[in-house]
């Protein structure tokens, strides 16, 4: 699976990352925030589902459940 990665700035200089399937729009529930493109066409191994570089846990499962994957508050940098 390939995804596009977006980021937004948080308080105290932290960041949140959002992954959506390649070419899809940011879901409506997340559009109220100012997202910026971080990377496009990022390949995720469906069996490993690793996006630890962006501090997104279980991206394949999150995308399957919600249509997107996002950094948890506990993992914000």
Q: Which pLDDT band, with edges at 50, 70 and 90, does 77 fall under?
A: low
- pLDDT tens, 41-65? 999 987 777 788 898 989 999 999 9
Answering whether pTM is above 0.75, one says yes
**DSSP-derived secondary structure for 29-53:** GGTTS--EEEEEEEE--TTT--BGG
Q: How many CA atoms lie within 13 A of 41 on its CB side?
A: 0
Instruction: Return the pLDDT at 37.
Output: 93
**Who has greater pLDDT, 70 or 46?**
70
* Residue 46 contacts residue 3 (beta carbons within 8 Å): no
The SS3 call for residue 71 is coil
- pLDDT tens, 1-10? 999 999 998 8
């Amino acid at each position: 699976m390939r995804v596009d990665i977006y980021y937004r700035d948080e308080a105290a200089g932290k960041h949140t990352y959002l992954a959506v399937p390649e070419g899809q729009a940011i879901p409506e529930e997340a559009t109220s925030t100012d997202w910026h493109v971080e990377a496009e066409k990022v390949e995720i191994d469906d069996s490993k589902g690793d996006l630890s570089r962006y501090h997104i846990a279980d991206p394949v499962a999150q995308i399957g459940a919600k249509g997107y994957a996002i950094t948890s508050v506990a993992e914000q940098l």
